[in-house]
Amino acid sequence: MKKAVWVLCGIFLLFMSCSKKNDNPFFSKFGTPFETPVFHKIKVEHYLPAFKAGIEQDSLEIAAIAGNPDAPTFENTLEALDRSGELLRKVAGVYFNMLSANTSDELQKVANEVAPLLSKHNDDVLLNEQLFKRVKKVYEERESLTLTTEQQTLLEKWYKDFVRGGANLGPKQKDQLRKINEELSVLTLQFGDNVLKETNVFELVIEDEKDLSGLPEGVINTAAETARERGKAGKWVFTLHRPSLAPFLQYSDKRDLREKIFKAYIERGNHDNECDNKAIIRKITALRLERAKLLGYATHADFVLEENMAKNPTAVYNLLNQLWQPAVMRAQNELRELQAMIDLESGDFKLQPWDWWYYAEKLRKAKYDLDDEILRPYFQLENVRKGVFEVAAKLYGITFTERKDIPVYHPDVKAFEVREADGSHIGILYMDYFPRASKRSGAWDNSYRERFFNGREIVTPIVVNCFNFPTPTGKTPSLLTLEEVETHFHEFGHGLHDLLTKCNYLKVTGTNVPRDFVELPSQIMEHWATHPEVLKSFARHYQTGEPIPDEMIAKIEGSSLFNQGFATVEFLAAAYLDMDWHTITQPVDDVNAFENKSMQNIGLLPEIVVRYRSPYFQHVFSGGYSSGYYSYIWAEVLDTDAFEAFEEKGIFDPATAKAFRENILAKGRSEDPMVLYKRFRGAEPKIDALLKKRGLN
């Protein structure tokens, strides 16, 4: 290291020493078991100074790597680059998880300051000419180097990231790219903030008990509790959060109220007010297009998909087109059945989107003597979690032990230590189950810290699963729907991917894989959720303790294809919409007109609304899935095919589980995803199992 760099490091250490006087927890060891975050000590005012210090520290480390007088090698350039930025990762890991799961106005203000700083820092790294020369030199000499497969992948990934990050652009183009990235970093945050505000602001307040007609007792009790929490005791409040919205649409006999809450849900971000997202969408898509063209790509989708299994938009559209017509035909048959039920009840109206869930639930009850409220008592949250853990134990021999000595960021959150069968430590898994105003909607997995080798020791992962499940009320525990049970297994699958990785480098560890591969470990877990053998192990009535009856399991199996036309059409429409937004070659002026045209082009049934309308499509405008929402169905081809391997030899077959763990869960992005899949399965996946699962064959 050159003398100038040592001087800079000395200045930084002096800065850090002064900063410690402010008792900022990020500037010292957390001092907790496994160095888990000290949430109770971290305050909003700690984040910005820690971010700035982290950026400064990483900048010095990058300067040292770029200015190293020794010839570039894999070790002094790629390994050093991958391990740099320890403080920045530490604060970012905590902050961005809090921004999603336990946010506040103050925390969101920090985001608006931090986003451009992080964007600039990322560009400073990828546009560092001296650093790129070193990376390029190692890359050009790669054939003569003795590298592991993981190291080869790391080298290729870093080199491509530099090129895709603008390293080969001229000075003016680099300045243009910086401005685009900075603006996008702020716009995507604003988009998500607006959706959260629009979700939280709506209340359907019911004062007349007659307007509760059709709603199950548990749903009514939850609405009463929500009303009390919001200063409306004696009334009932329904919100746009999934545990409140979904059962209202399924069971409420009041068609006018179903219409009201449904329209409020699908119009979020589309009210021409301070939270309107249409202008933001126009800017985001235009900037993404401009960046793609600047980097030599025809569209943003071409830029994104190059790094995915799909490789290009044509492959994505081909998959969607292959599924669309069979799905529409099935949905049309479902529509006819629902309309017939309306006519039989002498309903003088044509089925509308806010009617679908209601009549589908009635039809399921009539056809299979089954509905969510019959199943809920068997799906107590604690039992479902136990079932999830038991499946992982049977497959991989791992255990989960609650650790009450580990700090959590909210009283609802639980922390578990994950261990191998021999007792050795794997990592920490937080579970955050219930909705709140400070938490975004949906369910997700994320990491506070990823598993890697820092040159001295293995750094173990700290992972979180977040949900929005029904909150316990009174003496009634949290009781889940079958869909929520599947969601628990799904996110846990992502968690296993993060926890069981054996990769040594941050760039390729855990879930840092292509978007259309990352859903394989999560979606395959859903198959265990509804398998009869697994259901019998954890589904017990919360009051009597009786296991779920065999005849009820048979009904679940018998109804597995029910409403699959609707579910598939609703999803595919969103995947088409995402692709259409990101294959534009000219900026769009009218967001709603563009969306309408997109849906007209595929012939979306008027009785079905696209799963995510543009103004609240967080996956693609604030969640990292741009040109990637298709990945759920792409990965479903993989997961249905992969689960057949388990079914062929037994769903807990040790050899199959070992092969899946070693070739998929442990490998991260250390090799090409298709190579990993074929090593596990012995062949490329076939679409047959997916078509069968969704009843489209």
Q: Show which residues are catalytic.
A: 491
Q: What are the Cα distances from residue 669, in Å, to 92, 150, 505, 673, 697?
A: 22, 8, 10, 7, 33
Q: If DSSP states are collapsed to H, E and C, what string results for 572-635?
A: HHHHHHHHHHHCCCCCCCCHHHHHHHHHHHHCCCCCCCCCCCHHHCHHHHCCCCCCCCCHHHHH
φ, ψ of residue 23 to 5 degrees: the values are 55, 40
Give just the sign of the alpha carbon dihedral 349, 353, 357, 363.
Answer: positive
Token couple for 154: 């790391």
Residue 468 CB-density burial (10 A; 0-12 exposed, 13-18 middle, 19+ buried):
buried
Q: Are strands 425-432 and 458-459 parallel, antiparallel or unpaired?
A: unpaired
Q: How far apart are CA 313 and CA 106, in angstroms?
A: 40
Beta-sheet strands, E only, within 354-493: 399-402, 414-419, 425-432, 444-449, 452-453, 458-459, 462-466
**Residue 108, phi-psi category: left (phi > 0), alpha (psi -120 to 50), beta (remainder):** alpha
Nearest C-alpha neighbor of 473 from the set 540, 402, 376, 408? 376
Q: Look up residue 558 and give its DSSP letter.
A: H
Beta bridge partners of 430: 415, 464
Residue 661: what are its φ and ψ, rounded to 5°?
Answer: -65, -45
**What is the rounded CA–CA span in Å between residue 666 and residue 502?**
5
DSSP state of 684: -
Cα distances from 625 to residues 302, 571, 621, in angstroms, run 14, 14, 8
> How far does the chain reach from its first CA to its final CA, in angstroms?
64
Integer angstrom CA distances of residue 120 from 126, 128, 189, 456:
10, 12, 16, 30
CB neighbours (10 Å) of residue 517?
22
Asked if 623 and 518 touch (Cβ cutoff 8 Å), the reply is no
Question: In this structure, what token pair is assigned to residue 253?
Answer: 């006999």
For every residue of 98-167, DSSP letters joined together read HHHHS--HHHHHHHHHHHHHHHHHHHHHHT-HHHHHHHHHHHHTGGGS---HHHHHHHHHHHHHHHHTTT
Closest by CA position to 101, among listed 406, 405, 410: 410
Contacts 24+ apart (CB under 8 A), 538-546: 538/383, 538/384, 538/386, 538/387, 538/390, 539/378, 539/379, 539/383, 539/387, 540/378, 540/380, 540/383, 541/377, 541/378, 542/377, 542/378, 542/380, 542/383, 542/477, 542/479, 543/377
